[in-house]
Amino acid sequence: MPFTLAWTSLRRHGTRTLLAMLGVAVAAAMLLDMVMMSTGMRESFRKLLLSRGFQIRLAPKGTLPFDTDATIENTSGIIRVLRQNPDLTTISAVLGGTIHIPRGDRVIASSALGLDPRVQGDYELLSGRDPLAPDEIAGNADFIKATGARVGDTLTVASGYDPQTREYSGARKLVLTGQVRFLYGAARQRAAAMRLATLQQMSPDKADDASLFMIRVREGVDVDSAYRSIKGKVFTVNVISTEFALDQVDERLRYFRQLAVILGSVSLFVGFLLVTTLVTVSVNERIGEIAVMRALGVSRAHVVQQIVLEGVAISLVGAFAGLLLGLVTGRYLNGILKSFPGLPEAIDFFLFQPRSAWTALGLLALSGIAAGVYPSFRAASLPIATTLREEAIA
C-alpha cells in the first residue's frame, strides 16, 4: 500500500516530479564526477607505476625523477652493488636528455631516454622493433611526425648545441627502428629512445650518469625489506618506493582532492534540499488527505513510509540518470585535464570504478531517506480532529 500511494502521489504532479528528478540527476552527475576524481588520480598513478612491475626507483639525491637536470653519477658502480642483492631481479638505468635532429632548413628538438631496451619499463613497442644496436633509435608518433622520417631511415641526431662554434655537438647517425608509446610521456611531447651507452657517449659530461634507476623485486620478497637494503648500501641516491611516490603525488594534487570533496558535498547538499523542498510542498498540499487516512485507521508508520518512499524514489531515479550523465561529463573533463602540460598522458583524473558509482548511489539514497523524514513525521504527528476542522474551514 505505501508503494502504491507514493507512486500515485508522484504521478499526480508529473511535471514537478520530473523537474525534481532532473535536478537530482545533475547533482548526482557532479557527485559521481567528484567521487571519481577524489580516488581516480591515485589509482590511475598506482596502475601506471606498477604497469611494468617495477616497485622501487632511485633518483638523484634530494629530487624526484626528472624533476631537475640532476643526474646520478657512477651508474656502473651502483649497478654492481645492486646486483649483489639476489632479491633484485631487474635493474633498469635510464638517462634523460634533449636531442636535436636537423631536417632541411629546420632543427627538431625532442626529449630522449637512454636505456636498456631488454629490461626497460618506459615504453611499449607499437611497430617495428626495439633500438637494440648502438646506432639505433625509436620514436613516438609525435617524434616521427615532426621529423617526417619512416622506419628504416637514418637520422642525424645531436645531443647539444655549442654557442661558440654554432654547431651541434655529439652528433651521430642513428637508424629509426620503430614507433613506441612512452608510458610516462605528456600529451604531444616528442620523445625518442636509444641505448643508454649511446646517449651517454653523445653527452661526454654524462659518460657514466643516469637520471633514474627502476628496480623490480623478486616475487615473494617484501618490498619494504628490499627498500631498506638499498638505502643501507647506496647513499648517493634518493630511494623511492611506490608508496612514497604515491604520497608525493597526493601532496602535489591535494588541491584537486580538496576541490572534489567540496564540490561533491555541495552537490549532495543541493540534491538533499531539492528533494526535501519537493516532498514538503507535496505533503503540505495533502495535509487534509493525510488526516482523513489517519481518521480511517491508517497508522503513522504507513504515512511515514509513503512520504519517505516518495523522497527515495525521486532520489534513486534521478541518481541513475545522473550516473549516466556523470560518466559522459567525466570523460569530457578528463580529456581536458589530461592535456595539462607536464602530466603523463596515461594519467586519468576521472577514473570510473564500480565502488565510485555505488558510493554516489548510496549517498543519494541516504539523502532521499533523510529528505522525507521531517515532512513525514510532521504530517503523521498532526492532531487528526484539529487538522480536519482547519481543512474544512479553509
Task: Tell me what pLDDT residue 7 has.
Answer: 59
* CA-based torsion, 175, 179, 183, 189: positive or negative: positive
Within 10 angstroms of residue 97's Cβ, the number of other Cβ atoms is 22
Q: How confident is the model at residue 133 (pLDDT cuts 50, 70, 90)?
A: very high
| pLDDT tens digits along 15-49 | 777 877 787 888 888 888 887 877 777 777 777 77
Cα-trace Rg, the chain:
31
H or E segment at 15? helix 14-50
User: Would the pLDDT of 175 be above 60?
Assistant: yes
H or E segment at 233? helix 223-233
pTM of the model: 0.69
User: Would the pLDDT of 68 be above 70?
Assistant: no
| pLDDT tens digits along 146-169 | 999 999 999 999 987 666 666 777
Tell me which amino acid residue 221 is.
V
Q: Can you state the percent helix, strand and coil of the chain, rounding each to 5?
A: 55, 20, 25
| pLDDT tens digits along 77-105 | 999 999 999 999 999 999 998 999 988 78
How far apart CA 210 and CA 195 sit, in angstroms, is 12
Instruction: Report the percentage of the chain scoring pLDDT > 70.
Output: 86
Q: How confident is the model at residue 8 (pLDDT cuts 50, 70, 90)?
A: low
Instruction: Name the residue with higher pLDDT: 51 or 124.
Output: 124
How far apart CA 351 and CA 183 sit, in angstroms, is 17
Q: What is the largest CA-CA distance in the chain?
A: 103
Task: Tell me what pLDDT residue 94 has.
Answer: 93
Could you tell me how far CA 216 lies from the centroid of its own chain? 24
Task: Tell me what pLDDT residue 315 has.
Answer: 78
How far apart CA 222 and CA 217 sit, in angstroms, is 8
Side-chain-side CA neighbours of 372 within 13 Å: the count stands at 21
Which of these, 101, 110, 96, lies nearest to 168 by C-alpha position?
101
User: E strands, 152-241, where?
Assistant: 154-157, 160-162, 167-169, 172-182, 191-195, 212-217, 237-241
Could you tell me how far CA 17 lies from the centroid of its own chain? 35
Q: Which residues contact 211 (CB under 8 A, 6 or more apart)?
A: 59, 60, 65, 66, 70, 71, 72, 94, 95, 96
H or E segment at 6? helix 2-12
Instruction: Name the residue with higher pLDDT: 282 or 391.
Output: 282
Task: Tell me what pLDDT residue 390 has.
Answer: 65
Give CA separation, 210 vs 72, 237, 384, in Å. 5, 11, 83
Q: What is the 3-state secondary structure (H, E, C) of 267-312?
A: HHHHHHHHHHHHHHHHHHHCHHHHHHHHHCCCCHHHHHHHHHHHHH
The domain locations on the chain are 2-48+254-393, 62-235
Asked if 371 contacts 279 with a C-beta cutoff of 8 angstroms, the reply is yes
Task: Tell me what pLDDT residue 162 has.
Answer: 66
| pLDDT tens digits along 375-389 | 777 776 767 666 666
Three-point CA angle 136, 169, 190, nearest 5°? 50
Instruction: Name the residue with higher pLDDT: 114 or 53.
Output: 114
Average pLDDT, the chain: 81
Asked if 152 contacts 175 with a C-beta cutoff of 8 angstroms, the reply is yes
Polymer length in residues for the chain: 394
Lowest mean pLDDT of 101-105, 128-132, 141-145, 196-200, name the range. Answer: 101-105
Asked if 284 contacts 37 with a C-beta cutoff of 8 angstroms, the reply is no
Instruction: Spell 130-168 as b/e; 16+ CB within 10 A means b.
Output: bbeeeebbbbbebbbebbebeeeeebebbbbeeeeeeeb
